[in-house]
Amino acid sequence: AQSVTQLGSHVSVSEGALVLLRCNYSSSVPPYLFWYVQYPNQGLQLLLKYTTGATLVKGINGFEAEFKKSETSFHLTKPSAHMSDAAEYFCAVSTGSNYKLTFGKGTLLTVNP
Amino acid sequence: DAGITQSPRHKVTETGTPVTLRCHQTENHRYMYWYRQDPGHGLRLIHYSYGVKDTDKGEVSDGYSVSRSKTEDFLLTLESATSSQTSVYFCAISEWTSAFEQYFGPGTRLTVT
């Protein structure tokens, strides 16, 4: 079984500040991990993913995430927030043999001018 | 962008009427999924398909049925719509060659009055 916990349903940052969105997972086998972004009235778009190899993963729009097995975490970061980053972000987990993703409940990111 | 369309994009229907939502893909992906998205619940899997005529239930399948008669189309039917099925419905596709990363459609906003 696998599960995802996103800490904080709402995160608010100032423009130019660090963005940190937290995701912890549970999986009995090595996980595949994903971050998706959803802009208002749109579908989900993949930001980045971790499958194997390098634990620091870079995605689109300047976001990156680090897979930390010892902490069962896959936190999403961006050094400097932009107004256009305001959206809802979802963390998801799967395994190599499981074609179903388990999603967290999402974190709404607000960026203040 | 992955070639996924959903129709209709918006629908208002009355309680007790049947409703069918369509998901169409041009990517020839084997796996297809239907989710519903509601505030506070994130994405919840309704049904999924792992091939033509091969479907299975997700975590919130009661009141829904699906069919997949060809690779490109996955239909979701609400047999007798209820107000609790008012939601935004998303279709997604995936393939093992991309670690089952899911690509999402634009969504259908369904209101049951």
Distance in Å, alpha carbon of B32 to nearest chain A alpha carbon: 10
Rounded to an integer, what distance in angstroms lies between the CA atom of residue A96 and that of residue B2?
Answer: 21
- The dihedral built from the CA positions of residue B109, B1, A97 and A64, taken in this order, carries a sign that is negative
What does the pLDDT read at residue A23? 97
Report the mean per-residue pLDDT for chain B: 94
**Is the confidence at residue B39, as pLDDT, over 90?**
no
B1: confidence class by pLDDT, cuts 50, 70, 90: low
DSSP classification of residue A71: T
- Among candidates A42, A94, A106 on the partner chain, residue whose Cβ is nearest the Cβ of B42: A106
What does the pLDDT read at residue A1? 75
Q: pLDDT: is B38 or A98 the higher one?
A: B38
* Interval B33-61 mean pLDDT: 93
**Is the confidence at residue B40, as pLDDT, over 60?**
yes
**Is the confidence at residue B62, as pLDDT, over 60?**
yes
Give A-chain residues touching B58 at CB under 8 angstroms: 100
What does the pLDDT read at residue A110? 97
B49: confidence class by pLDDT, cuts 50, 70, 90: very high
Rounded to an integer, what distance in angstroms lies between the CA atom of residue A1 and that of residue A26?
Answer: 8
Query: What is the per-residue pLDDT across A13-62, written as a single tens digit (0 to 9) for each?
Result: 999 999 999 999 998 888 899 999 999 888 999 999 998 888 999 999 99
What does the pLDDT read at residue A96? 62
If you measure CA to CA, which chain B residue comes closest to A48? B101
Contact B100 A90 (CB under 8 A): no
What's the angle, vertex CA B10, arms to CA B86 and CA A91, rounded to 5?
65
Distance in Å, alpha carbon of B7 to nearest chain A alpha carbon: 14
Rounded to an integer, what distance in angstroms lies between the CA atom of residue B80 and that of residue A70?
Answer: 48
Q: Is A98 exposed, middle or buried (0-12, 13-18, 19+ CB in 10 A)?
A: middle
Give which of A18, A21, A17, A19 is closest to A9, Cα–Cα. Answer: A21
